[in-house]
Amino acid sequence: MRIFRFDEIDSTNKYLKEREDLKNYDCVIAKTQTAGVGRRGNVWVSNEGMAIFSFTLQEDKNLSLEEYMRLPLIAGISVLGGLKKIENLDYKFKWTNDIYLQDKKICGILVEKIRDFFIIGIGVNVNNDDFGYAQDKATSLKNITGKFYSTEDIIFCIINEFKKYFSENWEYVLNEINSYNYLKGKEIEIIKYGESLGSGIAKDIAYDGRLKVEIAGKERLFNIGEIHIKK
């Protein structure tokens, strides 16, 4: 595994996407990121003290598109598993791939595709206490425990977990994800392009990665949309 380290970079995902000589599990690590982007083009706050990194996964032509659609879910449970190995706390998996701790977000993930590689970008709040616009919605390991952590130890632990989960049977991985399902049992509203698709009670994540939601006594499946928890 090749490792590229930077004190500051515009975007770890962008760096890998622009390289012409990518290899499987190339990894770029940065102390700060100035132009990070999250899902749906949202700003990705990337401050010093975070574990900020991206790594590659070379496409295997023998795997189906459906299998690769699971990557955000696999990345999410890999972060959760890696964090539990570092500090065994009550982490939760929020569909589709956010990790929560004490009802606050501790990690963001962005999966992109370039040529025959997937780029998996991850930002974990580790030692930082500045979360920018998400100050009231985010937390970090240090905020919770008062301890200081090696961000690189966390990064390599997460990548090792990813390698493990990626090679595992999908039913096993999905059961793991559902055992940490943050949304299960919560009343939620699903918003797409500013329009409500419905409200109901969140259930398990289905085999195909969609979220089961019980609406007016009937189960529906959702694969797109921002999830808002009703208070």
Residue 78 to residues 20, 97, 206, 223: CA-CA distances in angstroms?
27, 10, 18, 20
pLDDT, one tens digit for every residue, the chain (231 residues) = 999 999 999 899 999 999 999 999 999 999 988 875 555 445 556 678 999 999 999 999 888 888 888 999 999 999 999 999 999 999 999 998 899 999 999 998 999 999 999 999 999 999 998 776 667 889 999 999 999 999 999 999 999 999 999 999 999 999 999 999 999 999 999 887 788 877 999 999 999 999 999 998 999 998 877 777 775
Beta strands in 44-86 (DSSP E): 51-58
pLDDT in tens, 43-67: 556 678 999 999 999 999 888 888 8
Nearest to 107 by CA among 135, 76, 128, 152: 76
Q: Is 143 helix (H, G, I), strand (E, B) or coil?
A: helix
Query: Where does CATH 3.30.930.10 sit in the chain?
Result: 3-180
Q: Residue written as tokens 């083009």?
A: 41
Q: Residue written as tokens 């919605």?
A: 137
CA distance 155 to 104: 20
Global pTM value: 0.91
Architecture of domain 3-180: 2-Layer Sandwich (3.30)
Cβ neighbors of 95 (< 8 A, separation 6 or more) are 181, 182, 183, 202, 205, 211, 227
CA distance 27 to 166: 17
Structure tokens at 91: 């982490």
Q: Which CATH number fits domain 186-230: 2.30.30, 3.30.70, 2.60.40, 2.50.20?
A: 2.30.30
- 56 neighbors 94 (Cβ within 8 angstroms): no
What pLDDT shows up at residue 44?
A: 55
- 135 neighbors 171 (Cβ within 8 angstroms): no
What b/e readout covers 6-18, taking b as 16+ CB neighbours within 10 angstroms?
A: eeebebbbbbbbe
Q: Residue written as tokens 């999410």?
A: 76
What pLDDT shows up at residue 163?
A: 98
